[in-house]
């Protein structure tokens, strides 16, 4: 049996204390009392309001745009179209020369009469009030020369091409051994295709910007996950040096990957503010976010598994066809996790893209694993059934000794322990492996499980930390807290490192003037920014100790024991100790400051030498109505092994959120692209369903004890997105177990189950 | 959204007259539907007459032993009313299955009856829609029509009326009482309030411009057990795919009378009267409920995306009847 996390055996440094504790979010009181200022809530004197008008066609050109009436509307200050927008660089090629440039490239707006996707901005109205701007936008008359476009992904799969790389620069294909022969020879085979739909991030807070110029310096208050990307994107679009752009984003109402790059609200606010010499504020409407702020593309995935009669895999093949934008390629790394998950000598993973006349996809809630595991972990369930093998046993039999494609050892890998602990806690043995047989009243009951895997990334990050004469610590990073708890865990790291109470530490985030980090994305935030801050605190302690030993005024003058510690507000060197605050006041009335950094993971030796992932197992129980096929959750359990847990409460919240998104992907999230017009039909939150409270039911999260010393000095690993990986597949497998109906087109809405569900006698 | 003028009505008569005086005027009550439509430029009134503060917020017993519900009674207050919960439980169930707590706190009885369809093409001014712009075409007919009607639709429009409350009221034979701009009152059976689209989907009710709903009267509840069943894509805060309000009165194990109203299937709450008649005298059996469900959906036509609604509605009618007959 695996050891779960308790306070006694939690690994930690010698000055154990704050790290790991389930303390409440430090920004919580500000948020629940409405005092945390979100981008659109910022106000500046003399600011004006913008409203964007989007194209009513998806492909073609603007033949004529008549703005006269809009310009005459009282209160209107500016109507910007391709005719009068300031010059900007061309958008450029569909694929940037290097991977990072996708985040920093120019993203011009209103710079052409050509329309590339439905609802692309074609005009901006700026007025004294938002209402006047919106009313005037409605008065712009546009005539288009529309052209036929490509909008039907499924009809065009034959047009697929192989991209040069997938997201994050990962390989497009991997081929090991001879899959086709192994598959042909395998006595037990699964060959099955799954479809996942377009999905949208839908954070609560829409994309919004307040831009203000002061001379040639531009300040942008916005909602951004990664400030350096925003700064670079604005600078390259406006053709100014990044140093003249300041991005401020202290509070973010959710991102889920759609706030990693600049969007039209930011570019247009900056351009309009420059033209008017006044601050300008613009938000995308909820409807506009569907076309203008990223999505997850529709995909078809074919999974082929060949096994011997004992369930040992001889071959794994995972093929992905995904929609992409015709003008900017984005290839989600949907089959990349398959390269590390299970053992098999013969393997193929491939990614192919089908270009459509739509806007680009963006990095959405665990790009790759979220749709990939939804399909692949269902295929594993299908194989288990074919073999009459328990799904956990099947996975255990294919547990690899080392990374199956890279051939390097795992830093840590506790997948089997997660599955075993989960099975015990969930009562997995109560599951009837024959589907459709467990009924309570008029509900069919089903259990499902799936594995979770998510790569550990580290992004380059720097932190600055200072201590003043009162023993108060301030840390600065351009990191963001997108609602995940970053303020809180960073506070805990600094407090523990310096042996001070939480209340003595203030963490400042969300300003591009602060030291540069990789921001929030790819679940790398906590480990990257956390490690940088940890190193900064160590550097600060060195400074303090050096001065304490050498300064005449110091109570620790001359203390030469090598043993030194910072705990309970005191500095101890050998047998001697002093209050940290008193010490600073004596030896450095101006306080001390230090910086610390981490390098990007992919460049480190440890990253090359080890396969680094976090793991988990999801369990789900669902009920399906015999009469209507309505699917409702009964309970879910996630058992996770993700390195050292920095805050048991915020970590749990992260996993809970991921599990909720798993329910969304399995049962309800889908954006419908109208193949006639190229527009997303259900573009609001009444028609695009995300799970609500009533859909969640009971949820439990357990963390296994783990400390990954290969990952970083903290021993922590990426966690945020792990919760969604495999969660949907556990739900889908439970629906199958309940009903005996295998739906391979997500989401599993009731209509797809209904037709196959026989009437139950009354 | 265009600019508009606003006045707060002093009395029912004055409100009706104020709207009647201008073709571009509208009543506004809770505003939970009208304001959304105005922000998107789908409704473009130039003048709003706010009736939300008129003293039409009472629920009173009528002489015949039924209930009169003021047009301004909030959906949440109506659902919580002890009389409603005790004697008209399917109305309370329907109300609580609708929208969200916040919206129900704001939504009025009359506003709920007169809420407009949720057809996504109706909500998008770039799309052809005969309901929004007569003669422009119907984008849903060959488009994404999963939520659309299977009964009573026309080539011009296949939208559904989204209300839950109205379905229960239809099963309860509610009567709508209105007041005209000239102060005249009239009573409209709920089944006659909404029009089917035919060639004019933009004309949704029989109300004249400026005619205001003052109250809704429920006759004394019919004998039998009442059940409202809403089928939806998520556990709350979703419109009905289909919904069924059923009342079954038994005598031994025979059915003495039955009522069936369906939501999510047509441009109005749909009473299945033929199915109701067929049930009279039948045994409370699976066969009788299944036959009634077939009869209730007689003539139903799918449009591709919503084909599943026909079997779904049948299964829901069957099950709801069985529940009302205390068999399931
Ligand atoms: C996200 C969302 C989800 C929802 N989900 C559901 C659901 O699941 N089920 C459901 O049933 N409903 C649902 N609703 C709809 C909700 O019930 C209606 O919006 C509400 O009932 C309308 O009432 P109101 O008072 O706000 O109407 P208003 O918006 O004020 O008015 C609606 C219309 O009625 C007219 N009107 C109002 N009062 C009178 C009167 N006395 N006489 C004549 N005309 C009048 C107005 O002129 C207007 O045309 C949902 C709404 C939203 C926004
Ligand atoms: S179904 Fe009716 S409301 Fe919807 S697009 Fe067609 S005409 Fe408009």
Cα–Cα distances in Å, from A499 out to A91, A140, A547, A695, B35?
A: 51, 62, 18, 43, 55
The burial of A155, by beta-carbon neighbours within 10 Å (0-12 exposed, 13-18 middle, 19 or more buried), is given as exposed
Check if the beta carbon of residue A669 is closer than 8 Å to that of residue A196: no
Nearest ligand, measured from the Cα of B107: 1
**Centroid of ligand 1 to alpha carbon of A544 (angstroms):** 66
pLDDT value at residue A16:
53
B72 touches chain A (CB under 8 A): no
Q: What is the mean pLDDT of residues A401-405?
A: 98
Phi, psi values for residue B92, rounded to 5°:
-65, -40
- Lowest-pLDDT range, A41-50, A248-257, A434-443, A518-527? A518-527
Q: Of A15-24, A544-553, B38-47, where does mean pLDDT reach its minimum? A: A15-24
Ligand having the closest approach to the CA of B15: 1
Whole-number Å distance between alpha carbons of A510 and A464: 14
- Nearest Cα residue to A595 out of A465, A762, A435: A465
**pLDDT tens column, A199-242:** 999 999 999 999 999 999 999 999 999 999 999 999 999 999 99
Is A758 within 8 Å of chain B by CB?
no
Pick from A617, A519, A556, A512: which is nearest to A247 by CA?
A512
The fold adopted by the segment(s) B225-324 is Enolase-like; domain 1 (3.30.390)
What band does A10 get if pLDDT is binned at 50, 70 and 90? very low
Domains B5-50 and B225-324 share a fold: no
User: Which pLDDT score is estimated for A194?
Assistant: 98
Please, what is the angle between helix A369-387 and helix A648-667, to 10°? 70
Q: pLDDT band at A561, cuts 50/70/90?
A: confident
Rounded to the nearest angstrom, the distance between the alpha carbon of B267 and the centre of ligand 2 is 11
Measured between CB atoms, which of B127, B234, B328 is closest to A668? B234
Pocket flag, ligand 2, residue B122 (CB < 6 Å):
yes
Residue among B321, B287, B314, B289 at smallest CA distance from B299: B314
Q: Kindly report which listed range (A4-8, A481-485, A604-608, A729-733) carries the lowest average pLDDT score.
A: A4-8
Q: Is B8 helix (H, G, I), strand (E, B) or coil?
A: strand
- pLDDT(A667) > 60: yes
Judge whether residue A2 has pLDDT over 50: no
- Ligand 2 site, residue B289, Cβ cutoff 6 A: no
In whole angstroms, how large is the CA radius of gyration of chain B?
19
Q: What is the mean pLDDT of chain A?
A: 96
**Buried-exposed string A127-146: b where 16+ CB fall within 10 A, e elsewhere:** bbebebbbbbbbbbebebee
| Cα A367 → chain centroid | 7
Per-residue confidence (pLDDT) for residue A4, from 0 to 100 = 55
| DSSP string computed for A254-315 | --TTTTSS--HHHHHHHHHHHHHTS-EEEE--HHHHHHHS--BPPEEEEEEEEE-TT--EEE
Residues 6+ apart with CB under 8 A from A300: A154, A157, A193, A194, A195, A320, A321
Q: Which of A329, A369, A670, A721 is catalytic?
A: A721
Burial class of residue A470, CB neighbours in 10 A (0-12, 13-18, 19+): exposed
Asked if pLDDT for residue A13 goes beyond 60, the answer is no
- pLDDT at residue A12 is higher than 60: no
Looking at per-residue pLDDT, the higher value among A248 and A527 belongs to A248
Whole-complex ipTM: 0.97
Report H helices in chain B: 12-20, 34-39, 75-80, 82-87, 89-96, 101-106, 109-113, 165-171, 190-193, 273-279, 286-296, 309-324
Question: Is the separation of the CB atoms in A451 and A522 below 8 Å?
Answer: no
Give the Cα separation of A548 and A554 in Å (integer): 5
Identify the CA nearest to A491 among candidates A28, A3, A2, A7.
A28
Cβ atoms B40, B61 nearer than 8 A: no
Q: What is the mean pLDDT of residues A424-434?
A: 98
Please state the rounded mean pLDDT for residues A726-743. Answer: 98
Element (H, E) at A447: strand A443-455
Q: Chain B within 8 Å of A751 (Cβ-Cβ)?
A: yes
Q: Which CATH class is domain B5-50?
A: alpha beta
Distance, CA of A695 to CA of A179 (rounded, Å): 41
Q: Is the pLDDT of residue A754 over 60?
A: yes
pTM of the model: 0.97
Q: Least CB-CB distance to B1: which of A135, A687, A754?
A: A135
**Would you list the domain boundaries of chain B?**
5-50, 225-324
Q: What is the pLDDT of residue A225?
A: 98
The candidate with the shortest Cα–Cα distance to A292, out of A323, A268, A316, is: A268
Which ligand 2 atom is nearest residue B158's CA?
1
Q: A597 — phi, psi (to 5°)?
A: -140, 160
DSSP track, A529-598: HHHHHHHHHHHHHHHHHHHHHH-TT-TTTT---S-EEEETTEEEETTEEEEHHHHHHHH-TT-EEEEEEE
Residues in contact with A121: Cβ distance below 8 Å, sequence separation at least 6, in sequence order: A52, A53, A54, A55, A109, A110, A264, A268, A292
The percentage of chain A sitting over the pLDDT mark of 90, rounded to a whole number, equals 95
Per-residue pLDDT for A15 more than 90? no
Q: Is B286 exposed, middle or buried (0-12, 13-18, 19+ CB in 10 A)?
A: middle
Alpha carbon A506 to chain centroid, angstroms: 26
At B98 the pLDDT is 98
Domains in chain A with CATH codes: 459-599 (3.30.365.10)
End-to-end CA distance of chain B: 50
Interface contact B233-A691, CB threshold 8 A: no
Question: What are the tokens at A443?
Answer: 């509900």
Residue whose C-alpha is closest to residue B77's, from B57, B63, B55, B97: B57
Mean pLDDT of all residues in A16-29: 92
**Which of A243, A259, A237 has the alpha carbon at shortest distance from A105?**
A237
pLDDT at A216: 97
Query: For each of chain B's 328 residues, which pLDDT tens digit applies?
Result: 788 999 999 999 999 999 999 999 999 999 999 999 999 999 999 999 999 999 999 999 999 999 999 999 999 999 999 999 999 999 999 999 999 999 999 999 999 999 999 999 999 999 999 999 999 999 999 999 999 999 999 999 999 999 999 999 999 999 999 999 999 999 999 999 999 999 999 999 999 999 999 999 999 999 999 999 999 999 999 999 999 999 999 999 999 999 999 999 999 999 999 999 999 999 999 999 999 999 999 999 999 999 999 999 999 999 999 999 988 6
The reply to whether A721 belongs to the active site is yes
């Amino acid at each position: 049996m695996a050891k779960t996390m308790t306070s006694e055996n939690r690994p930690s440094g010698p000055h154990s204390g704050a790290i790991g504790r389930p303390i409440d979010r430090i920004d919580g009181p500000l948020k629940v009392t409405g005092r945390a200022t979100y981008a659109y809530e910022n106000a500046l004197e003399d600011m004006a309001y913008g409203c964007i008008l989007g194209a009513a066609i998806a492909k073609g050109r603007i033949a004529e745009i008549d703005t006269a009436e809009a310009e005459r509307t009282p209160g209107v200050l500016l109507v910007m179209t391709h005719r009068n927008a300031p010059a900007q660089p061309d958008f450029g090629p569909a694929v940037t020369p290097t991977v990072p440039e996708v985040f920093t490239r120019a993203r011009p707006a209103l710079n052409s009469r050509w329309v590339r996707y439905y609802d692309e901005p074609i005009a901006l109205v700026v007025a004294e009030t938002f209402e006047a701007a919106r009313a005037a936008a409605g008065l712009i008359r546009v005539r288009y020369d529309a052209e036929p476009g490509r909008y039907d992904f499924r009809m065009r799969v034959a047009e697929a091409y192989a991209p040069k790389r997938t997201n994050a620069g990962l390989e497009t294909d991997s081929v090991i051994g001879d899959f086709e022969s192994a598959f042909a020879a395998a006595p037990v085979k699964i060959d099955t295709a799954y479809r996942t739909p377009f999905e949208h991030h839908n954070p609560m807070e829409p994309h919004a910007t307040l831009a203000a110029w002061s001379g040639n310096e531009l300040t942008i208050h916005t909602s951004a996950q990664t400030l350096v990307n925003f700064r670079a994107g604005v600078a390259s679009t406006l053709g100014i040096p990044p140093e003249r752009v300041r991005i401020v984003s202290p509070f973010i109402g959710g991102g889920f990957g759609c706030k990693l790059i600049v969007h039209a609200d930011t570019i247009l606010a900056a351009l309009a503010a420059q033209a008017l010499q006044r601050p300008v504020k613009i938000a995308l409407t909820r409807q506009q976010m569907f076309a203008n702020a990223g999505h997850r593309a529709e995909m078809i995935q074919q999974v082929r598994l060949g096994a011997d009669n004992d369930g040992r895999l001889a071959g794994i093949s995972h093929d992905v066809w995904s929609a992409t934008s015709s003008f900017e390629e984005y290839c989600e790394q949907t089959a990349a996790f398959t390269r590390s998950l299970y053992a098999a000598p013969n393997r193929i993973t491939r990614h192919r893209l089908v270009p459509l006349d739509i806007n680009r996809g963006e990095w959405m809630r665990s790009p790759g694993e979220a749709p990939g595991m939804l399909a692949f972990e269902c295929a594993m369930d299908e194989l288990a059934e074919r073999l009459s093998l328990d799904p956990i046993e099947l996975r255990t039999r294919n547990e690899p000794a080392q990374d199956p494609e890279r051939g390097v050892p795992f830093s840590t890998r506790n997948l089997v322990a997660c599955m075993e602990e989960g099975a015990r806690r969930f009562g997995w043995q109560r599951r009837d492996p024959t589907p459709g047989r467990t009924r309570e009243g008029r509900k069919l009951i089903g259990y499902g499980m799936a594995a979770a895997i998510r790569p550990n990334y580290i992004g380059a990050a720097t932190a600055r930390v200072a201590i003043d004469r009162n023993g108060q610590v301030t840390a600065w990073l351009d990191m963001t807290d997108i609602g995940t708890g970053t303020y809180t865990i960073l506070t805990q790291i600094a407090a523990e490192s310096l042996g001070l109470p939480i209340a003595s530490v203030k963490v400042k985030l969300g300003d591009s003037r602060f030291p540069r980090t990789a921001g929030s994305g790819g679940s790398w935030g906590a480990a990257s920014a956390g490690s940088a801050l940890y190193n900064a605190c160590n550097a600060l302690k060195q400074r303090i100790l050096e001065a304490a030993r050498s300064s005449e005024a110091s109570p620790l003058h001359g203390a030469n024991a090598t043993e030194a510690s910072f705990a309970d507000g005191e500095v101890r060197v050998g047998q001697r100790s002093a209050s940290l605050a008193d010490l600073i006041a004596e030896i450095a009335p101006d306080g001390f400051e230090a910086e610390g950094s981490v390098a990007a993971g992919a460049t480190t030796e440890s990253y090359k030498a080890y396969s680094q992932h976090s793991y988990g197992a999801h369990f789900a129980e669902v009920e399906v109505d015999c009469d209507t096929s309505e699917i409702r959750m009964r309970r879910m359990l996630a058992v996770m092994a993700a390195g050292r847990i920095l805050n048991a409460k915020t970590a749990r919240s992260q996993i809970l959120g991921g599990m909720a998104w798993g329910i969304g992907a399995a049962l309800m999230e889908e954006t419908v692209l109208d193949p006639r017009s190229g527009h997303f039909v259900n573009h609001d939150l009444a028609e695009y369903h995300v799970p609500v409270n009533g859909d969640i039911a009971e949820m439990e999260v357990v963390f296994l004890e783990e400390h990954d010393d290969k990952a970083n000095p903290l021993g922590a690993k990426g966690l945020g997105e792990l919760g969604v990986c495999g969660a949907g597949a556990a739900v889908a497998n439970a629906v199958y177990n309940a009903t005996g109906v295998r739906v391979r087109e997500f989401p599993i809405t009731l209509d797809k189950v209904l037709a196959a569900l026989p009437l139950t006698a009354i | 959204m265009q600019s508009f003028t606003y006045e707060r009505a002093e009395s029912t008569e004055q409100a009706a007259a104020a709207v009647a005086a201008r073709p571009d005027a509208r009543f506004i009550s809770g505003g939970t539907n009208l304001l959304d439509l105005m922000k998107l430029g789908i409704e473009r009134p130039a003048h709003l007459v706010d009736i939300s503060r008129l003293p039409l917020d009472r629920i009173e017993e009528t002489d015949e032993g039924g209930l009169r519900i003021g047009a301004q009674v909030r959906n949440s207050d109506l659902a919580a009313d002890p009389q409603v919960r005790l004697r008209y439980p399917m109305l309370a169930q329907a109300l609580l299955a609708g929208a969200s707590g916040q919206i129900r706190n704001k939504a009025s009885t009359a506003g709920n009856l007169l809420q407009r369809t949720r057809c996504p093409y109706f909500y998008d001014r770039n799309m052809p829609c005969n309901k929004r712009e007569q003669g422009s075409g119907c984008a849903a007919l060959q488009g994404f029509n999963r939520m659309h009607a299977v009964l009573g639709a026309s080539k011009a429009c296949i939208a559904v009326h989204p209300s839950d409350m109205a379905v229960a009221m239809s099963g309860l034979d509610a009567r709508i009482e209105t007041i005209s701009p000239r102060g005249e009152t009239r009573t409209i059976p709920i089944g006659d309030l909404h029009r089917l689209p035919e060639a004019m989907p933009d004309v949704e009710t029989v109300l004249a411009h400026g005619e205001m709903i003052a109250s809704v009267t429920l006759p004394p509840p019919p004998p039998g057990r009442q059940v409202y069943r809403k089928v939806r894509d998520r556990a709350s805060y979703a419109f009905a795919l289909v919904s069924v309000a059923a009342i079954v009165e038994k005598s031994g194990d025979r059915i003495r009378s039955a009522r069936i109203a369906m939501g999510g299937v047509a441009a109005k709450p749909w009473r299945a009267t033929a199915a109701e008649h067929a049930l009279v005298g039948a045994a409370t059996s699976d066969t009788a409920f299944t036959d009634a469900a077939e009869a209730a959906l007689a003539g139903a036509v799918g449009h591709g995306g919503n084909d599943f609604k026909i079997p779904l509605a049948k299964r829901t009618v069957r099950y709801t009847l069985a529940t009302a007959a205390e068999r399931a």
